[in-house]
Amino acid sequence: MPEHEPIPDQKTIGFLFIEGFADWEYGLLAASAAEWFGARAISLTPDGKPVKGISGFRLTPDRSAGVDENGDLDAVAVIGSDNWAGNAPPDVADLLAAVASRGGVVGGICAGTLALARAGVFEKARHTSNGRDWINGHEAGYAGDSNYQDVPYAVADGKVVSAPGSAPGTFALAFLKALYPQRSGDIAGMRTLFAREYAEGS
């Protein structure tokens, strides 16, 4: 298990949730970022109001997704929900652009990748989602669709991280590697630790 080392320049990560968020997609990233990397995890919703996850658990956010409230974010992770693929998904492009413009990490998992596609985040970045047909079915002709990588694990291209909903483990690893490039040893330790669950004969 990686050593818990306090980081002098503490990073702040915003986790963006909407109604019906996928409970399994953020836990490993949020907890390991805080516990092992000394990050500050902040919960966001588009309007600052509580939302419920697929489990029915109610989440009361720390703040809204407004740009003015989030000038301290070093990274933002958009968590999946079927409502990103609905008729009136929230527009969070301004927040994603603001974090990206100051060199922060912008990530999306599962349907959260639709928010990144709509914001133009994938225009020059290799990325993935829940399948090429799936993302194109919801956001046909989005900027950067030719950069799609048809793989079952997270893809990182510079400070842009994406993953299918079935890959919260590699999403956490890729996101942390993008945010803490100097901590490659700790990230490798995380990978080894969590891979044990899938070892042959376990």
pLDDT tens digits, residue range 22-62?
Answer: 999 999 999 999 999 999 999 999 999 999 999 999 999 99
Q: Two tokens at 106?
A: 């912008």
Query: How far is Cα 191 from Cα 199, in angstroms, rounded to an integer?
Result: 12
Mean pLDDT, rounded, of the chain: 95
Query: How far is Cα 153 from Cα 103, in angstroms, rounded to an integer?
Result: 24
* Mean pLDDT across 65-77: 98
CA atoms within 13 A on the CB side of 163: 25
* pLDDT of the residue at 202: 52
Contacts of 183 (CB under 8 A, 6+ apart): 37, 176, 177
* pLDDT of the residue at 116: 98
Task: Tell me which amino acid residue 91 is.
Answer: D
- Residue 34: name the closest of 61, 15, 49, 16 by CA: 15
The domain locations on the chain are 12-198
**pLDDT tens sequence across 106-137:** 999 999 999 999 999 999 999 999 999 999 99
Classify domain 12-198 by CATH number.
Answer: 3.40.50.880
**pLDDT tens sequence across 140-156:** 999 999 999 999 999 99
Instruction: Please identify which residue in the block is written with the tokens 């842009």.
Output: 160
Query: How far is Cα 181 from Cα 82, in angstroms, rounded to an integer?
Result: 32
* pLDDT of the residue at 186: 94
* pLDDT of the residue at 1: 47
SS (H, E, C) 66-96: CHHHCCCCCEEEECCEHHHHCCCCCCCHHHH
Query: Would you say 108 and 132 are in contact if contact means Cβ atoms under 8 Å apart?
Result: no
Query: Would you say 52 and 82 are in contact if contact means Cβ atoms under 8 Å apart?
Result: no
Cα torsion 44, 45, 48, 49: sign: negative
* pLDDT of the residue at 55: 97
* Mean pLDDT across 178-191: 96
* Mean pLDDT across 83-89: 96
The pTM of the full predicted model, rounded to 2 decimals, is: 0.94
Cα torsion 41, 45, 48, 52: sign: negative
Query: How far is Cα 30 from Cα 39, in angstroms, rounded to an integer?
Result: 9
* Mean pLDDT across 76-80: 99
